[in-house]
């Protein structure tokens, strides 16, 4: 069976999958770096480039190939999902936000090759490759991510980005679907 057929067999039956359903699906897919040929190289100045492996109305599976840059703090809209480290080591920072305040970094954690971590709905995080490792990560979200909010904490700014934009401040005006004014006093 090809990888594409295997992924489809596992993901197609999912309907409103729970946290555990998604984790089980990712473990069943059991993807390794050897399964992934011709990963897209990140563009200059961008933290990662991505390749869509599967998408239907319920779920999407993406692989991300990282540079040494950190992505911007962001959420995944109304989606939840799991991230699996396929290669390298990830440093994942978790934020807390109150209302429309400025997100505050709470802690970070490392995940090694093969490990998975959960991204709840509306949770804000950022990621980077740790210790100059060549990092590749696999992301399974439900439903497919739309309306992601990206933060620029230095500018105290946030915006909903278009679906073709990654976890970085948009380059193009059309990618800024909605700018959000942050209340910088609410977290003080
Ligand atoms: Fe993310």
What does the pLDDT look like over 18-41, one tens digit per residue? 999 999 999 999 999 999 988 999
Look up the CATH architecture of domain 3-146: Sandwich (2.60)
Domain-wise residue ranges, the chain: 3-146
Q: Supply the pTM of this predicted model.
A: 0.94
Lookup result for tokens 């990888």:
3
1 Cα to the center of ligand 1, angstroms: 30
Label residue 171 exposed, middle or buried (CB < 10 Å: 0-12, 13-18, 19+). Answer: exposed
6 Cα to the center of ligand 1, angstroms: 25
Kindly report the backbone phi and psi dihedral angles of residue 66, in degrees, each rounded to the nearest multiple of 5, phi listed first: -100, 145
23 Cα to the center of ligand 1, angstroms: 16
Query: Mean pLDDT over residues 89-113, rounded?
Result: 95
Distance between CA atoms of residues 42 and 22, nearest Å: 27
Which residues, in sequence order, are CB contacts of 135 under 8 Å at separation 6+?
65, 66, 85, 87, 88, 89, 90, 128, 129
Query: Mean pLDDT over residues 41-68, rounded?
Result: 97
- What pLDDT, on a 0 to 100 scale, did the predictor assign at position 184? 76
| Residue 133 CA, distance from chain mean position | 18
């Amino acid at each position: 069976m090809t990888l594409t057929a295997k992924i489809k067999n596992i993901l197609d039956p999912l309907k409103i999958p729970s946290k555990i359903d998604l984790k089980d699906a990712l473990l069943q897919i059991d993807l390794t770096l050897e399964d992934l040929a011709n990963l897209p190289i990140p563009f200059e100045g961008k933290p990662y480039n991505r390749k869509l492996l599967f998408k239907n109305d319920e779920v999407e599976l993406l692989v991300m190939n990282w540079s040494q840059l950190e992505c911007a703090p962001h959420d995944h809209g109304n989606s939840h999902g799991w991230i699996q480290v396929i290669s390298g080591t990830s440093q994942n920072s978790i934020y807390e936000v109150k209302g429309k305040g400025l997100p505050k970094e709470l802690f970070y954690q490392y995940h090694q090759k093969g490990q998975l971590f959960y991204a709840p709905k509306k949770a804000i995080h950022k990621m980077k490759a740790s210790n100059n490792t060549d990092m590749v990560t696999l992301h399974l979200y439900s439903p497919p991510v739309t309306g992601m909010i990206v933060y620029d904490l230095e500018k105290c700014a946030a915006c909903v980005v278009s679906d073709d934009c990654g976890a970085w401040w948009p380059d193009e005006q059309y990618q800024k679907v909605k700018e959000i004014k942050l209340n910088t006093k609410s977290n003080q």
